[in-house]
Amino acid sequence: MSQAQESRAQVGPPLWLLAEVTYRCPLQCPYCSNPLDFAQSDQELSTEQWVSVLRQGRAMGAAQLGFSGGEPLVRQDLPELIAEARLLGYYTNLITSGIGLNEAKVESFREAGLDHIQVSFQASDPELNNAVAGSRKAFEQKLAMARAVKDAGYPMVLNFVIHRHNIHQMEDIIDLCERLGADYVELATCQYYGWAFKNREGLMPSAAQLEVAEREVNARRQTLAEAGSAMKLIFVTPDYYEVRPKACMNGWGSLFLTVAPDGTALPCHSARLLPIEFPNVKDQSLKSIWYDSPGFNHYRGDSWMPEPCRSCDEKDRDFGGCRCQAYLLTGDADNADPVCDKSPHHDRILAARRAADHATAGLEELTYRNARNSRLFFRG
């Protein structure tokens, strides 16, 4: 058996396929994880090309499928893609801002076989939510669509990206979720990629803010349990406040396969920021991409690891951490994730924490995807 064949035999199939069907979005959130130059990505895959991707992924063993973006609702062929995914046997999840959704679309998605809808909010009140989203009607639209999703029989899954400007709203956010009848609530503290990295100093909560928020969430978990509530609260701590890195994507090219709007295949949705050439589904089969492409094999295993990761007894748990984070913070994606306190670059994480303790930037000082629209919004 050749080395390439041996390497291929050790790699399992992708179990989770993320179809980023578009980078287009009516909102302009300053923590968006999409590429900074995503407005230039106008070569989206056609319906037929996406159908081919879904069929190839399922044939390889992918079982879960996420439709994401941008805002996937801007794709007029979304019901057709959902129906194809149902025929193929995927468990499907739509990740949406709710903008552009209506009751007729919710029903069409249900009839097409969609399993799951996750609706995102920016805050618990209209003023802050709309300021972050850059839309004066976003909050009311989200409320209406969350209710429509619940009425259609879907489990209600709500997502709030948490940052220094809304982290004080934990009690109000959970109250809102209770009123809406949420089943699962993801309180996902901002992770710093894309626009969020550009705006990190204005978004990152202080250690004191984070401590209060975690305490409030834990208290509400206990209260909900005592009341017999089935609502689950999932609080995601920002990487920058950990001392060990996350096992990013459960390991590079291990379980997750992302296909970007233009067909670029990625081990994670942020990986295109790395100085690595990734293949495109227009040019190669998904199977060849997953098993054989240099991009997907680049950080598999541990032979690529420098010290201190190479000799670390924890490398099989965290796989060296996040390659994108290592690149953004050190300029070299091979380095240990600076989140780890064993990293020689951990001081950059500590410096970011200190900066967060003294940050004063308001929302109007952040850089938004559409800077012109954000200036108009804040000026009224």
In 3D space, the residue among 243, 267, 274, 261 whose CA is nearest the CA of residue 349 turns out to be 243
Residues 60 and 180: their CA atoms lie apart, in Å, by 38
Start-end of H helices in the chain:
3-10, 47-60, 78-88, 103-112, 126-133, 138-151, 170-180, 194-198, 200-203, 207-226, 286-292, 294-297, 315-318, 323-330, 346-357, 371-379
Q: What is the pLDDT of residue 35?
A: 81
Can you give the pLDDT at residue 371? Answer: 57
- Here the CATH number for the domain that contains residue 173 is 3.20.20.70
Provide φ and ψ at 106, rounded to 5°: -55, -45
Location of structure tokens 């202080």: 206
Instruction: List binding-site positions.
Output: 25, 29, 32
pLDDT at 3: 37
Is residue 291 included in any domain, yes or no? Answer: yes
pLDDT at 37 over 80: no
Q: Are strands 256-259 and 265-266 parallel, antiparallel or unpaired?
A: antiparallel
Please name the residues in contact with 177: beta carbons below 8 A apart, sequence gap of 6 or more.
Answer: 158, 185, 231
Q: From residue 46, give the alpha-carbon distance in Å to each of 22, 90, 215.
A: 11, 20, 47
Write the burial class of residue 315 (CB in 10 Å: 0-12 exposed, 13-18 middle, 19+ buried): middle
Each residue of 305-344: pLDDT tens digit? Answer: 999 999 999 999 999 999 999 999 999 999 999 999 999 9
Report if residue 2 sits inside a domain: no
pLDDT reading at 374 higher than 90: no
Q: Compute the average pLDDT of residues 171-195.
A: 95
**Amino acid 6: pLDDT:** 42
Q: Residue 364's pLDDT band (boundaries 50, 70, 90)? A: confident
Q: What is the pLDDT of residues 244-297, one digit of tens each?
A: 999 999 999 999 999 999 999 999 999 999 999 999 999 999 999 999 999 999
Question: What percent of the chain stands above pLDDT 70?
Answer: 93
Task: Decide if 7 is inside a domain.
Answer: no
- Domain span at residue 241 reads 13-379
- How many domains does the chain fold into? 1
6 falls within a domain: no
Q: Which residue shows structure tokens 């995914």?
A: 85
Token reading at 101: 């959704």
What is the percent of the chain with per-residue pLDDT over 90, rounded to a whole number?
85
2 falls in which pLDDT band (50, 70, 90)? very low
Residue 1 lies in a domain: no
Q: Is the pLDDT of residue 168 over 90?
A: yes
User: What is the mean pLDDT of the segment spanning 54-77?
Assistant: 96
Q: Is-cis flag, bond preceding 308, omega within 30?
A: yes
Digit-coded pLDDT (tens) for 82-96: 999 999 999 999 999
- Binding region for [4Fe-4S] cluster: 25, 29, 32
| Residue pointed to by tokens 């509530």 | 229
In a domain, 46, yes or no: yes
User: What is the residue-averaged pLDDT of the chain?
Assistant: 92
